Amino acid sequence: MSSSSKRLLFLSLLAILLASFSPAAYTQVTTHTGNFPDGATYVMQVPANWNGTLFLYSHGYVPPGSSNPARDVGDPATGLFMLSSGFALAGSSYAHTGWALQEALLDQIAVLDIFKRDFGTPSRTIAWGHSLGGIVTAGLIQRYPDRFDAALPMCGVLSGGVATWNTALDSAFAFKTLLAPGSGLEVVHIADPVANLALAEEMLVVAQSTPQGRARLALVAALSDGPGWFEPLSPEPPASDFATREFNQFLWAQNVDFPFLFALRAELEFRAQGNPSWNTGVDYRAQLSRSIDQAEVSALYQRAGLSLEGDLRTLEEAVRISADPEALHYLESNIIFDGQINIPVLTMHTNGDGLVVVQNESAYKRVVDAAGDSAFLRQTFVHRAGHCAFTPAETITAVESLLFRLNTGVWGVLDADSLNDTASALGPGFNIFPSPTAPVILPVKPAFFDFTPRRYLRPFDALGDGCQSDPVCRTQFSLARHESEDAPVSTAIGDRRD
């Protein structure tokens, strides 16, 4: 979307909000901005009727070379509601773009220190954020547990850094092996990200043009549990509509995922000083058997007259990729999870997220359960395609649910009907979503639903014992330990426990 379209969209949104708010809802807001020595900027907004609670917002991934302003809220409608309700907002830009976990964790704590200096100590501090900001949020409460009272990671990369990039490697490896062999396409140690992505996109379009290519693209998507749903305001395709679901997976690859797989990995490798991902020991046949897309893959292979067993054997026999030990250590530090939480944490995710798949939620729940802290965690789900595709009403409803737990010491009712009733009661000014085709705001009903995601296909975390019931996971974990044992390094999140 162009900058002029975004401005029209913003003005349209404000017009709806101004029409739905009464004058009594507005309050004077004091705004502080500034810079940190590392180059990060920050913004803080405190309303005149501040109730003592601060929300620290962590923003999502910013591609290298893009504008990187400080942000303290995900969207203007939610921001207006929060300030009008007496909550203070704050957040930083992070010192750099890309996989900026290392800087984000430090810069966000620095925001808290500056806020205390300028406005006093909050009575409560709540971490929240979207996407990469979701993993930052979970990382903040793990690394600095005494600084926060609750957390709301939304559409978060909650499988952790290692699992996330291993999953990306699985898809990239399968794509090159089955659809671009001998092409020169690089899946790790990417030397020229722009040219590499252009080559991948070219091969992707060629593959999509034939039944055989589409079947193989479905297999590529299945190895990361890619959803068969792309447009947020469209109905979800039926589970048996394999052709439409594959086309939507193609759209995810073309528009969202391939830039991460074949270009933006280079930024991570530069940070980590090597490749932090591996697929040695991975059984892709077993991985497909656990995928949500298994039936689609089988059907499309049959229609294309291809041997699925033959392609799985090709993947099995292909030369595998090992992680560079020091790079793996870097990604473990930035960051994997130990599941130890001692404050209320509420997560929110759409089930049709093709960038940060909803199975990230099951990965996080698994380690929290293994740590014995499940009483502190609740998870909510929205039935919609898209990454972080929430309405302001859904976000505010999640905020109110978390505050109820914080205020009362018990979780309130979090079933889908109750959450949707709460979101609907916020009115038309907040039950809105931007049109994907025009710079206008559309009315959208809240879409919370009761859902349990399947387990994450490539788990990896700080609790080695979390894998004990999963032989594949345990093998991968042991391989990573073996690769790294000659180069031990301490991390800020503590020693990993086998």
**Residues 300 and 420 placed together within one structural domain of the fold:** no
Per-residue pLDDT of the chain (498 residues; tens, 9 = 90+): 444 444 445 445 555 554 555 444 557 999 999 999 999 999 999 999 999 999 999 999 999 999 999 999 999 999 999 999 999 999 999 999 999 999 999 999 999 999 999 999 999 999 999 999 999 999 999 999 999 999 999 999 999 999 999 999 999 999 999 999 999 999 999 999 999 999 999 999 999 999 999 999 999 999 999 999 999 999 999 999 999 999 999 999 999 999 999 999 999 999 999 999 999 999 999 999 999 999 999 999 999 999 999 999 999 999 999 999 999 999 999 999 999 999 999 999 999 999 999 999 999 999 999 999 999 999 999 999 999 999 999 999 999 999 999 999 999 999 999 999 999 999 999 999 998 887 889 999 999 999 999 999 999 988 764 443 344 444 444 444 433 333 333 222 222 222
DSSP for 112-156 reads HHHHHHHH---SEEEEEEETHHHHHHHHHHHH-GGG-SEEEEES-
Query: Among 136, 111, 6, which Cα is nearest to 60's?
Result: 136
Domain annotation covers residue 166: yes
Domain annotation covers residue 498: no
**Residues 380 and 431 placed together within one structural domain of the fold:** yes
Task: Supply the pLDDT for residue 495.
Answer: 26
Contact 232, 363 (CB under 8 A): no
460-483 core/surface letters (b: 16 or more CB in 10 A; e: else) = bbbbbebbeeeebbbebbebbeeb
State the residue range of the domain holding 315: 162-332+464-484
Tokens 């894998």 identify what position?
Answer: 467
**Residues 112 and 186 placed together within one structural domain of the fold:** no
Task: Supply the pLDDT for residue 463.
Answer: 77
71-92 core/surface letters (b: 16 or more CB in 10 A; e: else) = bbbbbebbbbbbbbbebbbbbb
Task: Supply the pLDDT for residue 2.
Answer: 46
Cis before 126 (ω within 30): no
**Residues 292 and 375 placed together within one structural domain of the fold:** no
Tokens 């594959």 identify what position?
Answer: 246
Domain annotation covers residue 59: yes
Taking each helix axis from N to C end, the angle separating 242-252 and 294-304, rounded to the nearest 10 degrees, works out to: 110
**Residues 294 and 252 placed together within one structural domain of the fold:** yes
**Residues 249 and 262 placed together within one structural domain of the fold:** yes
**Which of 394, 414, 443 corresponds to the end of one domain?**
443
**AA identity, residue 92:** S
**Residues 317 and 371 placed together within one structural domain of the fold:** no
Domain annotation covers residue 495: no
Total domains in the fold of the chain? 2
**Residues 306 and 341 placed together within one structural domain of the fold:** no
Domain annotation covers residue 493: no
Task: Supply the pLDDT for residue 9.
Answer: 52
Domain annotation covers residue 57: yes
CA pair distance 304, 302, nearest whole angstrom: 5
Domain annotation covers residue 450: no
Domain annotation covers residue 458: no
The domain that holds 9 is classified in CATH as 3.40.50.1820
**Residues 317 and 228 placed together within one structural domain of the fold:** yes
Contact 167, 158 (CB under 8 A): no
Question: β-strands 150-154, 345-352: how paired?
Answer: parallel
Task: Supply the pLDDT for residue 462.
Answer: 83
**Residues 77 and 25 placed together within one structural domain of the fold:** yes
**Residues 323 and 345 placed together within one structural domain of the fold:** no
**Residues 15 and 124 placed together within one structural domain of the fold:** yes
pTM as predicted = 0.90
CA pair distance 121, 386, nearest whole angstrom: 37
